[in-house]
Structure 1
Amino acid sequence: MKANKRDRIVKVRLTNLEYEELTKASKSSKCMSDYFRQRVFRKGVGLIDPKEFIRSMDEICLEMKRIGNNINQLARYVNIHKEEVNQEVLNEVEKKMADYVIMQDKLNVTWRKLMSIK
C-alpha cells in the first residue's frame, strides 16, 4: 500500500460560469485533480495554457518583426539622406536599435528557458 495514498475527497460547489472557467484552466493538466494540487500546493507557480502561451508568443514575435522593420526603414532613410538628418535624430535611431536588440535578446533567453522546463 502506498504511504501517501490520496483517499480524501474534497467537494466544491460552483456556478456554471465558474465551472466553465475551471474546465478551461485545467486543460493544461492531465486531470482536474492534478490541476487543483498544482494550484494549491505549488505556491507562486502559475499554470500556463500552452495554446494561449504559443498564441501570445506568436503575437509578440510578429510585433518584434514589425518594430525591426520600422527601425530598418529609419536606418535606410538616414543612410540615404545623411546631409538632411541632424545628429539628434541619428542618436535616437541608434538608441532605439540598441534597445530593440536588447529586448530581442531577453525574449530569446526567456523563450529558451521556457522551452527547457519539463
Structure 2
Amino acid sequence: MKTDSKKVGRPVLESGKREHLLKAKLTEEEHQQVMAMARQLGITRTELIRSRLLSLHGQVVINTSELLASLDSIGSELGRSGNNINQLARHANVLNKRGMLDGEVISAFNQHFACYLEQHIEIQKMMRQLIRLMTG
C-alpha cells in the first residue's frame, strides 16, 4: 500500500532563483552604516545591498511608514494653519463691522494670505507627486 506524503515548505522556484552569493569585507564603521541604513529603511541588509548595487531602475528605497507619518504631520499642520486663518478672518469681520479695522491691516493680511495659498498649492502638488511615486 502506497501512502501519499504531503510536501512541506515553499515550492521550488523554476526561474528567478538566486543561486549566487557575493561576499564583501567591511570595516566596523561601514558595517554599522549598512546596518543603520537597513534599520532606518525597514528592510533587510540583503534587500538594501541588492537595491543599491542594481539601483532597481533608478528607484529610491524609502521607509514608507516614516514617510506616511511625516505626510500625516504635514497635513495636520496645514489643518491647524487653516483654523488659525479662519479665526483671524472672523476677528477681522467683527472689527470691520464695528468700523475699527485699518486698511493697512487688510492689505497686509491679503498679501500674507496670497503667499499662504501659493505655498499650500505647492505643498499639495508635491504631496500628489510623492503619492504617485510611491504607488508606481
What TM-score range do you get, normalising by the shorter chain?
0.7 to 0.9
| Separation in 1, partners of 2:115, 2:20 | 51
Q: Deviations over 1:82-105 (max 9, x none)?
A: 121211211121122222222221
Give 3-state SS (helix, strand or coil) of 1:55's partner. Answer: helix
Give 3-state SS (helix, strand or coil) of 1:111's partner. Answer: helix
Q: From 103, 117, 124, give the equivalent of 1:108.
A: 124
Is the Cα–Cα contact under 8 Å of residues 78 and 85 in structure 1 kept in the other structure?
Answer: yes
Q: 1:26 to 1:51 in 2, by over 3 A?
A: closer
* TM-score, L = length of structure 2: 0.65
Map of 2:48 onto structure 1: 35
| Separation in 2, partners of 1:8, 1:18 | 19
Map of 2:87 onto structure 1: 73
* TM-score, L = length of structure 1: 0.73
Deviation at 1:70, TM superposition (A): 0.9
Is the Cα–Cα contact under 8 Å of residues 25 and 49 in structure 1 kept in the other structure?
Answer: yes
Number of equivalenced pairs: 113
Map of 2:101 onto structure 1: 85
Deviation at 1:75, TM superposition (A): 1.1
Q: Report 1 or 2 for greater relative contact order, CA contacts < 8 Å, sequence distance ≥ 6.
A: 1
Give 3-state SS (helix, strand or coil) of 2:28's partner. Answer: coil
Structure number, greater radius of gyration: 2
Map of 1:58 onto structure 2: 72
Is the Cα–Cα contact under 8 Å of residues 40 and 63 in structure 2 kept in the other structure?
Answer: yes
Q: 1:12 to 1:79 in 2, by over 3 A?
A: same
| Alignment RMSD (CA, Å) | 2.9
Q: 1:39 to 1:95 in 2, by over 3 A?
A: farther
Matched, 1:25 2:75: no
Consecutive unaligned residues in structure 2, runs of 5 or more = 1-15
